[in-house]
């Protein structure tokens, strides 16, 4: 079974994380949850409620990280998913996460990103010249690092597939899974 990383930290968005987690299993991949440490993380629910102009947050489920960033050998993984929530704002400075992130972009492996997840590849210097969707409030993070904001449910730029929020999962997760399937099949059949 081919392994795919899901990047999390405390305050990772619940739906952002669990939808791709279960879709990976459904497609025959092994999702590997990675965090700053190998421990349990508290996820959150994010929503803008009627009458509010900013995101409101509630506690969601918890999730166990299978591996710490420092222990990741990125060459062992087929792809990576950067989940949203507030976690990326804090974990993006982790040197091992930066190392891992750069590997997937340099190796042209399938990368998916949603919502605040953009803050990780942006900080790692991987978005320059790339078109991406993200939540509107992270547009600055993308653009200041040289990327182009696209306000669409699914943006595909080579190996990079992105969406704005979990409301877009039904649009961009499928294309990312298809990229992973192509990568898996190519890996399985080097002459293909």
pLDDT tens readout for residues 62-115: 999 999 999 999 999 999 999 999 999 999 999 999 999 999 999 999 999 999
pLDDT tier for residue 188 given thresholds of 50, 70 and 90: low
Q: What is the mean pLDDT of the chain?
A: 94
Does the active-site annotation cover 116? yes
Positive or negative: CA dihedral 118, 168, 77, 188: negative
**Looking at residue 191, what is its pLDDT?**
45
Q: What is the CATH number of domain 3-188?
A: 3.40.50.880
**Looking at residue 57, what is its pLDDT?**
80
**Average pLDDT rounded to a whole number, residues 45-63:** 83
Render pLDDT for 106-145 as a digit per residue (tens, 0 to 9).
999 999 999 999 999 999 999 999 999 999 999 999 999 9
**Residues contacting residue 106 through CB under 8 Å, at least 6 positions apart:** none
Give the active site residue among 2, 46, 103, 116: 116
The whole-angstrom separation of Cα 63 and Cα 60 is 10
Is 166 within 8 Å of 115 (Cβ atoms)? yes
Percent of the chain past pLDDT 90, that is, above it, reads 88
- How far CA 6 is from CA of 16, 179, 191, in Å, comes to 10, 16, 29
């Amino acid at each position: 079974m081919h392994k795919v990383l899901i990047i999390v930290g405390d305050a990772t968005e619940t739906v952002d994380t669990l939808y791709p987690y279960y879709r990976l299993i459904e497609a025959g991949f092994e999702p590997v949850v990675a965090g700053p440490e190998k421990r349990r993380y508290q996820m959150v629910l994010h929503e803008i409620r009627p009458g509010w102009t900013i995101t409101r947050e509630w506690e969601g489920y918890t999730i166990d990280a299978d591996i710490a960033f420092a222990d990741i050998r990125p060459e062992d993984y087929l792809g990576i998913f950067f989940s949203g929530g507030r976690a990326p704002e804090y974990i993006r400075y982790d040197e091992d996460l930066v190392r891992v992130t750069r590997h997937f972009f340099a190796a042209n492996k399938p990368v998916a990103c949603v919502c605040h997840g953009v803050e990780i590849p942006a900080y790692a210097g991987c978005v320059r010249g790339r078109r991406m969707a993200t939540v509107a409030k992270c547009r600055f993070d993308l653009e200041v690092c040289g990327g182009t904001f696209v306000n669409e449910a699914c943006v595909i730029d080579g190996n990079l597939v992105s969406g704005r929020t979990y409301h877009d999962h039904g649009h961009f997760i499928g294309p990312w899974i298809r990229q992973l399937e192509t990568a898996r099949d190519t890996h399985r059949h080097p002459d293909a």
